[in-house]
Amino acid sequence: MDHKKEIYIWNVSRHYEQLKRLSFAALKAQYTSMGVPLDPTMGKDDIIQRLQDLRLWEELPLASLRKECLDQQAVAPEAMPSSGSLQSQKNMLIELLFARSCERAWESQGLPVSALGGFQGTAQVLKQYEHLESLHGTNMKQEYKRLGLPDEDRVDRKTMVMRLKQVTLWQCLPPGELRAECKRKELTINETEMAELEDDEQRSTTLVWRLIVHQYMSAWEILGLPVQRLGNVDAVMQAIGNYQFYDEMGVSDLKKAYLNVGFPEETGLEKQDLLTKLKRCVIWELLPLDELRKECTSLQVSNAASDQSSSEDDMHGELLQRLLVYLCQDEYELKGIPARRLGSMSLVRHIAERFEGLEAMTATELKLEASKLGLPVRQNVQRLDLLIQLKDVAVWSTLPLDELRRECVTRAVSMKGVNFDIETGDEEARNQVLGLLLFQAFTSTFESLGIPAQTCASFQACSGVAQAWAAIDKLTSAEITRRYMELGCSPVQHVIRLDSALMADRLKKIALWMEIPLLEIQKECRTHHINSIAREGNRDELVLRLVAVLWAPKVFPPKVGGVPPCKPGMPQRHAGGPPQAPPSRGLPRGMQGRQSPGQHWKAHMPPGSGPWSPGKGQSKGKLPGGYSPWSSGGVPSGQQGKPKASPHLSLHYQTLCVQPTAGAEEVKKAYRTMALKYHPDKNQGVGQEQAANQFRKVSEAYQALSEHLKIK
């Protein structure tokens, strides 16, 4: 044995003895000082062996190191270092041998060294493993929660560390290796979804989530997450993400999220109460339709489809709304809001906001609000009574048709004559039923104002009369005289001698005739021996005949042939002969000689805008609340033919800050102004959420009014 070999053996042996005398902590410190992560599974003998191999390689000559590298497959022959000093070549070869030694040890422990990119990639994973091993208590739970793992109280620290290491390993794998891992676990991958992601980092994150969900499904089931009912990994992933999002919120932010769903503001709610309800909403939103139906059945919530549900998505949304109402219905019912009957969270929120607005109004403001809706108001009505009436109208205007019918049954309101067939449509039937409810609720109020409600027979007719009478009461004496002269039934010299109060009463009488049913006008005509044969379209002529007979000056010509003159409007009797029919133009005989055809009141006024005309297009049988022909002296320019607005639509007019008399152009202009004002892009910062809610209301109002006014 030569001298160099003896020295080599002596040095190696001496180094081995020194290592054996070191403590485990000192060995670990020496090992990690080289920048190599310490494998948690390594014991004292493993570290000594690794350090001893390193010292052995340092003592070998360059040629022996080259041979060792080839034997250990630490480097390919063509990649063997050959440049630089001998010492630098030796250092490179030692590093390669050490790395290869570590890789083999790691592979024997099940680490995918090649998939992680070799020594460096695996070393990074082990450093993270080392960090996880050092965590305890709260820090461990925070890391566990950060990675999205199921937070189970019964999981011990060892299990938590093992799960954390598994997720850490998946996070370090490239997308290709993650795909292979998903394939081994028989997980499907949505290639379309993957292609839409921007980069490999996002793709890796998505694949890791799939692996996590698959790995820990049973654990989440224990925590109350219905993994099997959700039906697919995507839904589970979204539910977990939403759970984490809410878990990280403070109490104030949770309350905002709670109110945004539509739940009422409540005092005394703790964080856990808020989380429970919000997480329940998350699950309902993600459940497939069949499971959502089962959920409704278990909670005794109706799962029947409505006429508005034209697709599965519509049905899913409708059932979700019913379940959301179920969670808060008791709180809303205490506030007088029939949440169960409304059946939709959006409708419940609408009524809640409407109630808040009404409750904030003074008595004067409530009277003005009732007037805008075409509702009658008693002279000495108490604020509380008026508030209750307006709340009832708000609820009725929002209830679905089935609930309106139940309301009629409860209030003993007959629905005879309402068409509920398919051709009529739900909206038309709703308007008819709503009109019946309003008529019963306000009959006594109309009667207190002197309006014969039973004769009018409908809310629309009563409301039209009330609005007309109110407008007449606001006229000056000169305006009353002008209106009366426009009737053309009396010469000027006769009109100027009439008392203005008498003329006002007559104008009110005309307004009443224009609203009551045609049969009642015909009965009135027959009472005064006037020809009553006419159709609804000839109502004006019947009224004209009544005016001429009742209020035209009584001018009796002298007797002719011994036959006394008849009253104006009555057929003339000739001696010994039958009575003659009145003139063919429908004008009462009493007006003959004073006016030529075409010179009576209708001849010089716009069509449909006579002093008692309801306005062109304002047909009978529709809901009240629209424009009165008596306001501001007749139908405004451009308003002929505009449909009356129901209380239901009047809320939308109010949202756009326009009168129910507004036409299409005015509605368009108001919408553009308010949409620009409340657009979310124009309201950044603290008020953005409130502006977004208002923007939504403005859009909904414009959509409803566009359909009502036929805006293109």
Does position 472 have pLDDT exceeding 90, yes or no?
Answer: yes
Q: CB 248: neighbour CB atoms within 10 A?
A: 10
Helix count (H) and strand count (E) of the chain?
Answer: 34, 0
Q: In 97-185, which ranges are E strands?
A: none
Q: What is the pLDDT of residue 208?
A: 87
More confident residue, 516 or 644: 516
Query: Per-residue pLDDT for 235 more than 50?
Result: yes
Strands (E), 18-88: none
Q: Does the pLDDT at position 450 exceed 50?
A: yes
Contact residues for 656 (Cβ-Cβ < 8 A; gap 6+): 662, 667, 670, 671, 674, 698, 701, 702, 705
pLDDT: which is higher, 149 or 512: 512
Chain-centroid distance of CA 231 in Å reads 26
Per-residue pLDDT reduced to its tens digit, 359-407: 999 999 999 999 888 899 988 899 999 999 999 999 999 998 889 999 9
DSSP string, 408-457: HHHTT---TT---STTT-HHHHHHHHHHHHHHHHHHHHHHHTT--HHHH-
pTM of the predicted model, to two decimals? 0.52
- The pLDDT of residue 441 is 93
User: What CATH homologous superfamily does 643-712 map to?
Assistant: DnaJ domain (1.10.287.110)
The phi, psi pair for 595, rounded to 5°, reads -135, 140
Give the confidence band of 437 by pLDDT, cuts at 50, 70, 90. very high
Place of tokens 């297009």: 617
Distance of alpha carbon 304 from alpha carbon 402, whole angstroms: 13
**How many CA atoms within 13 Å lie on the side-chain side of 478?**
0
Please list, in sequence order, all residues whose beta carbon lies within 8 angstroms of the beta carbon of residue 532, skipping any fewer than 6 positions away.
Answer: 521, 522, 523, 525, 526, 542
Q: How far is CA 43 from CA 28, 54, 77, 109, 608, in A?
A: 9, 17, 34, 14, 103
When pLDDT is cut at 50, 70 and 90, the band that residue 577 belongs to is very low
Which of the four pLDDT bands, split at 50, 70 and 90, describes residue 28? confident
One-letter amino acid of 205: T
Q: What is the pLDDT of residue 191?
A: 84
Comma-separated ranges of CATH 1.10.287.110 domains in the chain:
643-712
435-453 CB burial, b ≥16 within 10 A, e <16: bbbbbbbbbebbebbebeb
Using DSSP, state whether 592 is helix, strand or coil: strand
Q: According to the model, what pLDDT value does residue 142 have?
A: 81
| Measured CA angle at 681 (ends 694, 655), to 5 deg | 20
* 16: pLDDT strictly greater than 80: no
- Quote the pLDDT of residue 567: 41
User: What letters, b where the CB count within 10 A reaches 16 and e where it falls short, cover 586-612?
Assistant: ebbbbbeebbeeeebbbeeeeebbbbb
Distance from chain centroid for Cα 54: 69
Nearest to 189 by CA among 175, 199, 179: 179
Q: CA 385, 387, 392 angle in degrees (round to 5)? A: 95
Task: Give the pLDDT of residue 216.
Answer: 76
3-state secondary structure 617-663: CCCCCCCCCCCCCCHHHCCCCCCCCCCCCCHHHHHHHHHCCCCCCCC
The reported pLDDT for the residue numbered 388 is: 94
Helix, strand, coil share (%) of the chain residues, nearest 5: 65, 0, 35
Greater pLDDT, 78 or 619: 78
Contact criterion met (CB below 8 Å) for 105 and 133? no
pLDDT of residue 610: 36
- Cα 526 from chain centre: 57
In this prediction, residue 438 carries a pLDDT of 95
What is the per-residue pLDDT across 153-194, written as a single tens digit (0 to 9) for each? 667 788 888 888 888 999 899 988 898 988 888 888 888 888
What rounded mean pLDDT belongs to the chain? Answer: 79
**Whether pLDDT at 667 is above 90:** no
Integer-rounded Cα Rg, in Å, for the chain is: 45
435-441 long-range contacts (CB < 8 A, ≥24 apart) are: 435/459, 435/460, 435/621, 435/622, 435/623, 435/624, 436/408, 437/396, 437/404, 437/407, 437/408, 437/411, 437/413, 438/375, 438/393, 438/396, 438/623, 438/624, 438/647, 440/411, 440/413, 441/389, 441/392, 441/393
| pLDDT band with cut points at 50, 70 and 90 for residue 712 | low
Written as one letter, the residue type at 287 is: L
Cβ-contact 544, 600 below 8 angstroms: yes
